[in-house]
Chains A and B, each alone.
Chain A
Amino acid sequence: MDILGVLRTLASESGFAAFFLADGGWKNLVMIIIAFVLLYLGIVKKFEPLLLCGIAFGCLLSNLSYFVGMGANALYHPEIWSTFLDSTSPYYHSYGYIMREAGLLDFFYIGVKAGIYPSLIFMGVGAMTDFGPLLARPKSLMLGAAAQLGVFIAFFGAVLLGFTGPQAASIGIIGGADGPTAIFLTTKLAPELLGPIAIAAYSYMALIPLIQPPIMKAMTTDKMRKVKMVQAREVSKTEKIVFPIVVATFVILLLPSTAPLIGCLMLGNLFRECGVTDRLSDTAQNALMNIVTIFLATSVGATMVGDSFLQLQTIYIIILGLVAFAISTAGGSTP
């Protein structure tokens, strides 16, 4: 029995050896350090911990198990998703191929790729949201419209920096300050950028208390900030029940591509308001939301593989995301 040979095989197949032997193995090491930093920010600094812990651990698992050319035991395989998206490949959009080759995190990622998790998150958000103030004062929708300014400026900035149109649109949407929408759009338009865009979107949302106050202060007067927002009128129960039905009908007919997100958002809100589905509303707000958050965060984190994440364009995305976020804040704060 060749004990030395067995030990040599064991050593050469280990992740420790892969850091030095695999092509770009050092990038995995860098990503593992980044994962530790994100874990620190989530756990110690409490920056969006419910998401950041999952994202960071997904990143850690992915970079511990996947090395370029040594992906047999990997939990996430970027190359099978590249094949999945390659229109010249025989496995183009073949979920059968994914099921055959996938690791655990690839299976989780199917929910992102198919747009399931962001839609389910929206259902939970709908079940948690009271649209009463909006119904009482519909003009407040214009604040939301103004706050989209950063999306379009970042889109233009991204094109200037050499990103393609779909990539630029995915980067711009970071300014919408909505993680599930950013993920949903990026998986449709530029799935290769999902990792950095998700990280930028959620990081800036976590940093809202640091980013937004100085911008709001600069854009508003002291008197404006002292205005106490009171609900303009009482909103009836019937109005709140009819609202999700009317909005879903109107918006989906107007923009059919928004159907998954708006449909789920309004379904969740109907569960909340109709008064006869309290159990469903409770599930959508709590259990379902928590389960989907685990899958979404872990699978998005898994896309942060060193080989594709450690590129100059990731830095561009982080900077453009901040620009989008800051300008959107300024747009929404402009009197």
Chain B
Amino acid sequence: MIDLVNISIPNAAGYALLGYLVVFLGLVMLMAVIIIMGKVMHREPKAAPAAAAPAAAPAAAAPVVKAAPAPGSAGDFKLYNTDPRDAAMVMAIVADTLGKPLNELRFISIREVKEDEV
């Protein structure tokens, strides 16, 4: 049994090398788990409409189909630590400052920047 408290220099070198390999191995395994999980998750939405098609039941297949964005919409945008009311005001101010109509601007996300982050 190796004494970890009074570790010798060759043993320390061995442990350092082994430790680094273990980190790689562990993360490769985790990466494999994430890839498998992603593949399983991505297969599910595709499989559902295919299975529903032969049954010719449009009502059953309807929840799977993602609703098309409204005309002129660029889709969802994300709010980070921002109240929707504040976000609406920010968007209105930006549109006003730029002199452009709001529906011609595309907002991807709005994040509150704290004073100490500036």
A residues contacting B by CB (< 8 A) are 46, 49-50, 134-135, 138-139, 141-142, 144-145, 148-149, 151-153, 155-156, 159-160, 164-166, 168, 236, 238-239, 242-243, 246-247, 250-251, 254-255, 285
Pairwise interchain contact A152-B19, C-beta atoms closer than 8 A: yes
Q: Could you tell me if A138 and B116 are in contact, using CB atoms closer than 8 angstroms?
A: no
Q: Is the CB of B17 within 8 A of A246?
A: no
Q: A142-B31, A254-B26 are in contact. Are A165 and B16 (CB under 8 A)?
A: no
B4: CB under 8 A from chain A?
yes
Contact residue among A159, A242, A255 (Cβ-Cβ distance under 8 Å from B41):
A242
When each residue 22-44 of chain B gets 1 if its CB lies under 8 Å from chain A and 0 otherwise, what string results? Answer: 01101111110111011001101
Q: Is the interface of A mostly helix, strand, loop or mixed?
A: helix
Residue B20 interfacial (CB < 8 Å): yes
Shortest CB–CB separation between residue B44 and chain A, in angstroms? 8
**B6 contacts partner chain A, Cβ-Cβ < 8 Å:** yes
Name A138's contact: one of B6, B38, B45 (CB within 8 Å): B38
Complex CA–CA separation, A158 to B41 (angstroms): 45
Q: How far is the CB of B78 from chain A (nearest CB, A)?
A: 9
Smallest CB–CB gap between B7 and chain A, Å? 4
Query: How many angstroms from the CA of A153 to the CA of B81 in the assembled complex?
Result: 39
Cβ B34 vs Cβ A166 within 8 A: no
Q: Which of B7, B26, B37, B116 contacts A239 (CB 8 A)?
A: B37
- Quick one: which of A141, A153, A160, A165 contacts B27, CB cutoff 8 A? A141
Kindly identify which residue among B7, B29, B45 contacts A168, using a CB–CB cutoff of 8 Å: B7
Tell whether A138 pairs with B35 under 8 Å between CB atoms, given A49-B116, A255-B26.
yes
B20 touches A148 (CB 8 A): yes
Minimum distance in angstroms from A287 CB to a CB of chain B: 13
Interface size class of B (residues with CB under 8 A): 20 to 34
Chain A residue contacts of B13, Cβ below 8 A: 156
Interface pairs (6), CB distance under 8 Å: A148-B20, A156-B12, A160-B12, A166-B4, A243-B34, A246-B34
CA distance A135 to B34 in the complex (A): 7
Say how far A195's CB is from chain B's closest CB, in angstroms: 21
Q: State A316–B45 Cα separation when bound (angstroms).
A: 56
Bound Cα distance A231, B96 (Å): 31
Q: Which residue of B5, B29, B35 is within 8 Å of A166 (Cβ)? A: B5
**Can you name the residue of chain B whose Cβ is closest to the Cβ of A46?**
B116
Question: In the complex, what's the smallest C-beta–C-beta distance from B39 to chain A, in angstroms?
Answer: 11
Q: How far is the CB of A131 from chain B (nearest CB, A)?
A: 9
Q: Are A142 and B116 in contact (CB under 8 A)?
A: no
CB contacts (< 8 Å) of A141 on chain B: these are 27, 30-31, 34
